[in-house]
A and B are shown apart, each in its own frame.
Chain A
Amino acid sequence: MTGATLSSPKTGARAFSLAPWLGVAPFFVFAVLFLIAPTFSLLVGAFQTPQGDFTLDNLWRLGQPSIRNSYLLSLEVSAASSLLGGLFGLVLAFAAVRGGLPAWVRPTLMTFSGVASNFAGVPLAFAFVSTLGRMGLVTLLLDRGLGFNLYQHGFNLFTFWGLTITYLYFQIPLMTLVVAPALDGMKKEWGEAAESLGASRLQFWTLIGLPILGPSLIGAMLLLFANAFGAIATAYSLTGPSLNIVPILMFAQIRGDVLHDPNLGFALAFGMFAITGLSNLAYLALRARSERWMR
């Protein structure tokens, strides 16, 4: 593919330069009305006192050790579940798209992933409690069937890793669904061409496959990260009283029965908003680098 473009007649070119803006206009109108404007009240609220005066106090309070630790914990849980979810999701998508399995496997996996990606909150927490909790199905089976007591060996569902394992239930399917279309685009001809030039499978993947897939993979994992970062219902039901993640703190301030400082809640959300912005920038930088391989 060369850089030369076929020239269009003059009127065509001018008509076309307006078209991109018209094409993205619906998105931006929608975004302003339904995403940006409602967020605005949150952003403004983060800088206000309950009486409505301007203050940086809420943001300042974000620096408290308990809130700082909360952000750290949230980052850790999100990172763990998005990296692991990304890895396992990719493996599953790969198996379905290019693993040579029977034809019904892929559509079944995709539809199942669709449902599983949204199976979160109380039902998911309960499902894992009844599987891997102290009185869970698997726990009891292993104990009575094989004499292996998970909990005596140190496993505990109601911890950081237990929460991460639970989060994977919706992270893995999400990754699978988002990445499968990208895997579709990996044309067989490229693999064949590389082989005919003497490349090994490893070389193919490291020099061609991953660089091409790279941006989509990282973008998908960023989606997983944001997804985990904002997830609250599952965490609240599973480890509510014991793990101190940011959405629960926010919940406490905006929605709870005990504390009620919505402005602090908005500040917490603002912090999440900023962190997602930073990770998006990191993603853009990474992608710009990996796209150099394409040129």
Chain B
Amino acid sequence: MKQGSTGAWVAMGLGVLYFLLPLIATFEFSLRLRRGEYSFDAYRSALGSGEFQSAFLYSATLAIVTIVIAIVIVVPTAYWIQFKLSWLRGVVEYITLLPLVIPAIVLVFGYIKLFNTESWLPLTGSAFGSDVLLTLGYVGLGLPYMYRSVEAGMRALDVKTLTEAAQIQGAGIGTVLFRVILPNLRGSLLSGAFLTFAIVIGDFTYASLLNRPTFGPYLQRVGAARAYEPAALAIMAFAITWGCMGVIQIVGQGGRASRARS
């Protein structure tokens, strides 16, 4: 394998510049709370209410559950579409694009109308039910990204041959999916997981209208009508979300070695 090509280094360098400069500018601004000198006062002020940890953990937990549910729904679907039901591809892909063009507020009001206390499935009536509704809503929000990611990865696998080879050895469909296909999708699943995690942490509309104490409403409450604290919170949220993704990355890579078939 050749040493990193200059092209790759240049591309990375430019990328780093583009992505880091706005963060540096935000960070610099967040240090300016105290007149005339740099200080971490904005951070202290923002963390003062003490709800940072509980709100973040709440969101992070919802995010993990969302990712698991999304994987369970998306992987078999992508598999069967690729393998047998390719004529359904267009329909499925279009459905996954819906959360991007339908405004979040319309979707959440739709959920309230469908699942309110007088409906067939009164999820809004209890805290747990609202959590379930919120999680499933998040699965929907993350669907476009999870699906594209998994589909791109699965397309690169020779699904037909893998399945037939496994079947010859006596594998049932469950084994095919979970012990043959899934380990080969590690990269896609991680990509989808990252995107979903970020979406859940960053959500405000769903949680706020369903009255659940997640990170988004907390950020809004602390930062509204202020100048320096929102910048501090943005930097902290960025750093911590990045850290959590690092953990997901390590967990995802550290699993049993994939039985790669090249």
Contact = CB atoms under 8 A, between A and B. Distances in A.
Interface string B164-204: 10011000010000000000010110110011011101100
A145 interface: no
Interface residues of A, number: 100
Contacts of A211: none
B61 to A, nearest CB: 18
B242 A38 contact: no
Contact of A181 (B21, B95, B156): B156
A127 B23 contact: yes
Interface in A210-230: 215-216, 219-220, 222-223, 226-227, 229-230
A237 B66 CA distance: 29
Given A99-B7, A113-B194, A131-B25, A26 B15 contact: no
A226 B144 contact: yes
Interface of A is mostly: helix
Given A95-B12, A269-B106, A34 B144 contact: no
Nearest to A16: B173
Given A20-B85, A110-B249, A114-B245, A42 B106 contact: yes
Nearest to A33: B114
Given A177-B191, A269-B103, A37 B7 contact: no
A62 B25 CA distance: 40
Interface stretch (A48-56, A64-72, A101-109, A147-155): A101-109
Given A107-B249, A138-B21, A226 B100 contact: yes
Interface string A259-295: 0000000100100110111001101100000000000
Contacts of A258: none
B145 interface: yes
A190 B167 CA distance: 27
A38 B110 contact: yes
A18 to B, nearest CB: 11
Given A111-B246, A187-B262, A91 B84 contact: no
A242 interface: no
- Chain A CB count within 10 A is highest, among B100, B238, B242, for B100
A43 B5 CA distance: 51
A31 interface: yes
A172 B12 CA distance: 13
Contacts of A127: 22-23, 25-26, 234
A117 B242 CA distance: 11
A112 B202 contact: no
Given A34-B111, A92-B11, A100-B1, A177 B155 contact: no
A115 B241 contact: yes
A95 B74 CA distance: 28
Given A95-B8, A99-B8, A110-B190, 18 more contacts: A16-B173, A20-B83, A23-B76, A24-B80, A27-B74, A38-B102, A38-B111, A101-B4, A111-B246, A115-B194, A115-B245, A122-B230, A127-B26, A130-B29, A216-B152, A223-B148, A254-B106, A276-B97
25 contacts: A38-B113, A39-B107, A41-B109, A41-B113, A95-B7, A95-B9, A99-B4, A99-B11, A100-B3, A101-B8, A101-B12, A110-B249, A116-B19, A117-B198, A126-B26, A126-B234, A172-B15, A180-B191, A181-B152, A181-B187, A215-B155, A220-B152, A254-B105, A254-B106, A276-B101
